[in-house]
Amino acid sequence: MSFSPEANSDVPTLPKVHSGIPPYLLDKAREAKQDVFAGRTKAQNARQRLPVVPQGIERDDFLKALDELREQLGAEHVEVNNKPLRDGWYMEHPNTHDMMTILDEEELVASAVVFPGSTQEVQQVVRWANKHLIPIFPISMGRNLGYGGAAPRVRGSVTVDLGRRMNAILDINAEDYTCLVEPGVSYYALYEALKARGLDEHMWIDTPDLGGGSVIGNAVDRGVGYTPYGDHWACHAGLEVVLPSGEVIRTGMGALPGNNSWQLFPYGFGPFSDGIFSQSNFGIVTQMGMTLMPNPGGYEAFMYTFPNDEDLGPLMDIIRPLRISNIFENVAQVRHVTQGLASRGLPRSTYYTSPGPIPSSILRAAAASTPVGDHAWAYYGMAYGPAHIRAHKLALIDSEFRRVPGARKIDPSTLPPDEYFWSRERVARGVPDIQELAWVNWAPNGAHIAFSPVSPIRGADAARLFELGKRRVEAAGFDFMPAFVVGLREMHLIVEIVFDRGDVGSKKAALACLRDLVDEAAAMGYGEYRTHLVLMDQIAGTYGWNDGALMKFNEKLKDALDPNGILAPGRCGIWPKRYRGRGWEMTRESGGRSEGDGVGPA
Ligand code: ADP
């Protein structure tokens, strides 16, 4: 048991803290917290490399520049990162570093964190960064766990924590089913706001597995939710963006003064600029419109299990036509039993204490003793609409799934209230939850990082990716926990590697395994949809058609929009001119080193 100070504090709640838990999840959050700290043995390390100063500026000049910013924003809105790097946990996450770091703790850390209170103050911060050539890194909530959390890519960047002071829900429109939010609005907060206005029965939000991320942060990193709306970036409408020059723009209809369609028609007139602001480093989003889903008039969650690993291929070929024709209406998950067992929240040592992957016989015997029973794959889905409409779709699904020998429909009434199924059920009807991360407790000091390639929804592709993942992950000594997240015409395979972040060997093995997975998948023609900071250069490199033409285009945009290279250098593999050719890329060869050799002049 850890003696970290945060282990004994209560979970922060909404609305007191913008990133807090809503009251309806407080007990569950307290339990989750207890489980996290029960498995924590990692010591609180003293800081090793202080002060943190970004390359390209002398320490004294940097400290003077911070004083200047204090004068502009108020001293209380500029914090130097010189305290212990507390990892906290999901609800009390740090904004200075990645709480699930896969590198040495001191690698991807901020030098300071600033808290702007308005779009104008974001502009001020950006202009300040240009004046002093200081890299800045925007976060909305900073809970991008598995992808780098709140950490900046360039060590010593000044983190711009937008969420703490810019967390207003600017509009909820119950006629058009839209909202307009600032960066610090979490799914939890948006849901609470709908409830407070008596609108939660009327309109649904599309929440990710965990509701603590911000609506903006999740959309710009192209996260997904599990109602029929699913694709968050596709469902947004309208951005306000502070450019790396400090100018501010509104995209789509937002560019036409006084119009009332900003959240209704994302395109406006002219080129559709929004795309360059997702998975990039071209701007800081200060407002975003999001569409909300009308209550479909009923819903029914369902779950099927399938007995063999080899059922995956036939299953995917059944799912594809049903998904494309919208019989399967939501982004569904096909989860392997390993993750199913881990989702129960108990450490792996409950089942198996030897090193190396957990043997299938032990896994299956453990699954057999749970309410869901023995299986290899589980499909979690939801049918929407009034009963008679659901009945038609569910009957079709049932007859198709039963073509797989041994397919079983699980009767939800046999599942206890704390069963994982019910968490999926809530999320698929727009009610944010906090259960998902329970599988991270699988390892002591559990942390996770994902390999997430995109493929068609085809049996042959699923089988190839399954084989690749299983071989590589098990060879690295980890348990293989695949889940397929089925979009509309494509799916992402998500392979989460759960490692012990208190153990250097475990971290190194996880990273090496991911690098192998990325390279081998690319050689087979598969690329990732999203990734962790440490893999961005490698993955950007796999999208190299025509001598890296796409990256050359991105670099041109970067140099035009951000000539001083101050905004999130290196994010998504896009390096500004001042950094290029100086060894900043993180690759297998660079090992665990995240920094390059200096930066060029402005
Ligand atoms: P979450 O809100 O889900 O916790 P984060 O705040 O950690 O997500 O952001 C996820 C990623 O998206 C980060 O790497 C961050 O740089 C980028 N990002 C987040 N918010 C913004 C924003 N408002 N403008 C530009 N980029 C952003």
Residue 38 lies in a domain: no
Which pLDDT tens digit goes with each residue over 187-243?
999 999 999 999 999 999 999 999 999 999 999 999 999 999 999 999 999 999 999
Atom of ligand 1 nearest to the CA of 288: 23
| One domain, residues 492 and 571 | no
Distance (angstroms) between ligand 1 centre and the Cα of 230 equals: 18
- The predicted model scores a pTM of 0.97
Q: What contacts 354, CB < 8 A, 6 or more positions away?
A: none
Residue 179 lies in a domain: yes
Residue 30 lies in a domain: no
- Asked whether 334 and 484 are in contact (CB, 8 A), the reply is yes
Residue-by-residue DSSP string for 558-588: HHHH-TT--BSTTGGG---TTTTTSS----T
| One domain, residues 406 and 523 | yes
| One domain, residues 114 and 134 | yes
Which pLDDT tens digit goes with each residue over 264-313?
999 999 999 999 999 999 999 999 999 999 999 999 999 999 999 999 99
Pocket test for ligand 1, best of 100, 144, 241, 572 (most atoms within 8 A of CB): 144
Helix 459-475 × helix 312-324 angle, to 10°: 130
209-233 burial, b for 16+ CB within 10 Å, e for fewer? bbbbbbbbbbbbbebbbbbbbbbbb
| One domain, residues 483 and 550 | no
Q: Average per-residue pLDDT in the chain? A: 96
Residue 213 lies in a domain: yes
Count CB atoms within 10 A of the CB of residue 519: 15
| One domain, residues 443 and 492 | yes
Please tell me which residue in 40, 90, 143, 147 is annotated as part of the active site.
Answer: 147
**pLDDT range class, residue 4, cuts 50, 70, 90:** low
CATH of the domain at 256: 3.30.465.10
Rounded Cα distance between 238 and 264, Å, is 8
Contacts made by residues 391-398, CB under 8 angstroms, sequence distance 24+? 393/327, 393/329, 394/300, 394/302, 396/322, 396/327, 397/302, 397/322, 397/327, 397/328
**pLDDT range class, residue 2, cuts 50, 70, 90:** very low
| One domain, residues 275 and 329 | no
Q: Is 379 a catalytic residue?
A: no
Identify residue 133 by its one-letter amino acid code: L
From edge to edge, which strands make up the β-sheet containing 178-181?
169-173, 178-181, 284-291, 236-242, 248-250
Q: What contacts 95, CB < 8 A, 6 or more positions away?
A: 110, 113, 139, 142, 150, 159, 161
Residue 579 lies in a domain: yes
What residues flank ligand 1, with Cβ below 6 Å? 138-144, 150, 162, 183, 213-214, 216-218, 220-221, 284-285, 568
The pLDDT value recorded for residue 332 is 82
51: cis peptide before it, omega within 30°? yes
Residue nearest to atom 8 of ligand 1 (CA): 217
Nearest to 253 by CA among 234, 242, 244, 240: 240
With a pLDDT cut of 70, the percent of the chain lying above it is: 99
Number of domains in the chain: 3
Residue nearest to atom 3 of ligand 1 (CA): 213
The pLDDT value recorded for residue 134 is 98
Q: Is 147 a catalytic residue?
A: yes
| One domain, residues 441 and 403 | yes
Task: Among 248, 276, 294, identify where a domain stops.
Answer: 294
Atom of ligand 1 nearest to the CA of 139: 6
| One domain, residues 341 and 401 | yes
- Asked whether 282 and 568 are in contact (CB, 8 A), the reply is no
The pLDDT value recorded for residue 403 is 98
**CA dist list (Å): 48 to 60, 84, 271:** 20, 10, 48
| One domain, residues 254 and 379 | no
Q: Please check the confidence at residue 323 and state whether its pLDDT lies above 50.
A: yes
Residue 41 lies in a domain: no
Which pLDDT tens digit goes with each residue over 436-490?
989 999 999 999 999 999 999 999 999 999 999 999 999 999 999 999 999 999 9
Q: Please check the confidence at residue 343 and state whether its pLDDT lies above 60.
A: yes
| One domain, residues 205 and 188 | yes
Residue-by-residue DSSP string for 449-478: EEE-BEEES-HHHHHHHHHHHHHHHHHTTP
**CA dist list (Å): 53 to 59, 292, 402:** 6, 43, 61
The pLDDT value recorded for residue 216 is 98
| One domain, residues 108 and 188 | no
Rounded Cα distance between 137 and 565, Å, is 11
Rounded Cα distance between 364 and 341, Å, is 9
Residue 330 lies in a domain: yes
CATH of the domain at 601: 3.30.43.10
Tell me the residue range of the domain where 455 lies.
Answer: 299-531
Rounded Cα distance between 484 and 215, Å, is 23
Chain-centroid distance of CA 92 in Å reads 16
- Asked whether 537 and 573 are in contact (CB, 8 A), the reply is yes
Rounded Cα distance between 560 and 487, Å, is 34
Residue nearest to atom 5 of ligand 1 (CA): 142
The pLDDT value recorded for residue 5 is 64
| Over residues 397-423, mean pLDDT | 97
Task: Among 515, 531, 547, identify where a domain stops.
Answer: 531
Residue 461 lies in a domain: yes
CA angle 250, 256, 260 (to 5 degrees): 95
CATH of the domain at 360: 3.40.462.10
Signed CA dihedral, 483, 383, 206, 193: sign only: negative
| One domain, residues 392 and 422 | yes
Task: Among 478, 498, 531, identify where a domain stops.
Answer: 531
